[in-house]
Structure 1
Amino acid sequence: MSANPQKHRTGLDRVWHAFGYSLSGLKAGWYEKAFRQEAMGSFFLVPLSFYVGQTWLETALLMGTVVLVLVIELLNTGIESAIDRIGPEWHELAKRAKDTGSAAVLLSLLLCIAVWAAAIYANFFA
């Protein structure tokens, strides 16, 4: 028998509870300043992607890069929370975990900026 009684849920009951946990995760992410800033940007960029994108594929790519930033930021927040739970003392592996999570956020932001810049240039200046 599993130590976690939640693992025995099946069907729609499991889906419903998983949805609740996901909403809790979004709520927890909202308390992080970086996630709030990126989410506020996404409230502007996602609708703008319908104007900038000339095809459904371009629109999906523009939206996808914005959502990817949010996903990576949530994962980074999860890593940081897990490390912080272990303890406040400095450790090289804890630093490495936090730094690599931060690097993942940076790369997702650079990808988002590059895709948006390319689409804007191609659709409005070329």
Structure 2
Amino acid sequence: MESPFKGKTGLRRVLNALVYSMDGLRAAYKNEDAFRQEVLLAVLMIPAACLLPVSMLGRALMVASVLLVLIVELLNSAIEAAVDRISLDHHRLSKRAKDIGSAAVFIALLNVVVVWSCVLIN
């Protein structure tokens, strides 16, 4: 069964998407400790990137690497919620899905370290 909102077009679709996105950000912030921690890091690191004496490209890479962590965390949280919606029972495939999502967040965090190190050392 398809969503009844799938057929919306134009400005109505854009407004619906904006509302759903804000709902998702609020839900993640309210329910996900890791997302709140990463938002705090972003609130500290993005202004720092803007104030540091680095090239515009370096600054863009630094900010993008931090935003990527938030994006990956949102996707990881969505995976976890979907898996938990299906069943809270322990299952090897549920564990695999959650572990892979967690690994994606870990790699995004490593990416921040690498990008910031490269920009600041250069």
Query: Normalising to structure 2: TM-score of the pair?
Result: 0.94
What residue number does 1:110 align with? 110
**Aligned ranges 1:1-126 → 2 under 5 Å:** 3-31=2-30, 32-52=32-52, 54-122=54-122
Q: Give the Å deviation of 1:51.
A: 2.3
Question: C-alpha offsets along residues 2-60 of structure 1, whole Å, 9 cap, x if unaligned?
Answer: 64210111100000000000001101110210000000110011111112352211111
Query: Normalising to structure 1: TM-score of the pair?
Result: 0.91
RMSD, aligned CA: 1.2
Distance 2:2 2:111 in 1: 41
Structure 1 runs of 4+ aligned residues shifted over 3 Å read none
Letter in 1 for 2:33: K
8 Å Cα contact 1:52/1:119 also seen in 2: no
Identical columns (%):
44
Q: Count how many residue pairs are aligned between Structure 1 and Structure 2.
A: 121
Which structure has the larger Rg over C-alpha atoms? 1
For structure 1, list consecutive stretches of 5 or more residues without a partner in the other structure: none
